Amino acid sequence: MTSYDQPSSSNEEIFAENASTSIHSRCVATLKSHNSYTSSLVLAGKFLFTGSSDKEIRMWKRRADHENPTNDDVVVVVAGKGAVKSLVVSAGDKIFSAHQDNKIRVWKINNHHNSDTQTLAHLATLPILSDRAIKYLRPKNHVQIRRHKTSTWVHHVDAVSALALSQDESLLYSVSWDRTLKIWSTPDFKCIQSIENAHDDAINALAASRDGRVYTGSADKKIKVWGKPHGGEKNHSLVATLEKHSSGINALAVDMNGSVLYSGSSDRTILVWENDCGGGGGRTVAALRGHKKAILCLGVVADLVCSGSADKTIRIWRRGVERCYSCVAVLAGHDGPVKCLTAASDCHHEGDDETSSYLLYSGGLDGDTKVWEIFVLR
């Protein structure tokens, strides 16, 4: 049953400050949408899309006043088998979803004339049939996935764990527990490259930078940097391997400029990486500690870094001068580990030049999706 609860516990509102910044944060809504946990979420215009561990994708209308949504405010789509692992939006009219059943699905967001409602229509399932058929006919396109079993290289053969789009949205990147990184052409949905054995263990995290770099994070404790093709080169290639974490990588995020990478790990640490001047790799400039359990998700908005953890909390970190980071808020309200989050500027809030307002959306293993207001007083 779908419901929308106002916060009732005082621990869902906190006030934190340091020498240069005051932050006021409060939970303004709780969306109870799934019979199982919320595994992924993404914003697209006026709508929030949530994916669940029981194969549902829900589309929620975002409301500035946080009023209780009616039945018309929620659209439910059921697809695939198992969890919806990742969601990304392309050009505001397409949604790509990654699934536990090893597939990627493409959805068209349909806007209805004379109405403020939208619906989802299934466009394709990747790999598409024509791509599979062409590759299947040529033995050189087959790769061995088990001792006595082969598959064409366009197939993921385990859960697709994360998705990302290139800056111009012409390429879709996907990673999987099968240890591969695949690159897809978004105009025709064809797989154009598969990097087999990209890692030594399951790949859990993915991020794409504005400058063309692609970052993958794995249970093998490594982050790998893949370079954008140059000139006549067709394929992405390995640029660098980043090794500082002591446990598997669960989350990656890149700042707005593409110059800083954040990585979250089961070692309870968020590492901050800056691009070096030559090789395209990175060097650590900070380590953010405070969570009591594994970091499961990361999000960046303006100079704030948001982290969700298995300790059921969200921490908000602010970047100051000289690469100095401070934890300016701890949000407690979920009854289970925080699995996914995203943040955006709150365009409905009228603030002055010294106040910034953001909306943070978090999904947890408790099945809830929470909406948080964050006010930053500079």
Which of these, 268, 367, 273, 360, lies nearest to 309 by C-alpha position? Answer: 268
Mean pLDDT, rounded, for 80-93: 89
pLDDT band at 166 (very low <50, low <70, confident <90, very high): very high
What per-residue confidence (pLDDT) applies to 118? 76
Mean pLDDT, rounded, for 83-105: 93
Distance in angstroms (rounded) separating the CA atoms of residues 237 and 252: 19
Residues 121-130: tens digit of each pLDDT: 999 999 998 8
What per-residue confidence (pLDDT) applies to 81? 83
Distance in angstroms (rounded) separating the CA atoms of residues 334 and 30: 10
Task: Answer for the pair 12, 27: CB distance below 8 angstroms, yes or no.
Answer: yes
244: left (phi over 0), alpha (psi -120 to 50) or beta: alpha
Kindly report the CA angle at 13 between 10 and 15, in degrees rounded to 5?
Answer: 125
Residues 7-37: tens digit of each pLDDT: 333 333 443 434 455 888 999 999 876 578 8
Task: Answer for the pair 57, 42: CB distance below 8 angstroms, yes or no.
Answer: no
Task: Answer for the pair 182, 174: CB distance below 8 angstroms, yes or no.
Answer: yes
Task: Show me where the domains of the chain are located.
Answer: 1-32+296-378
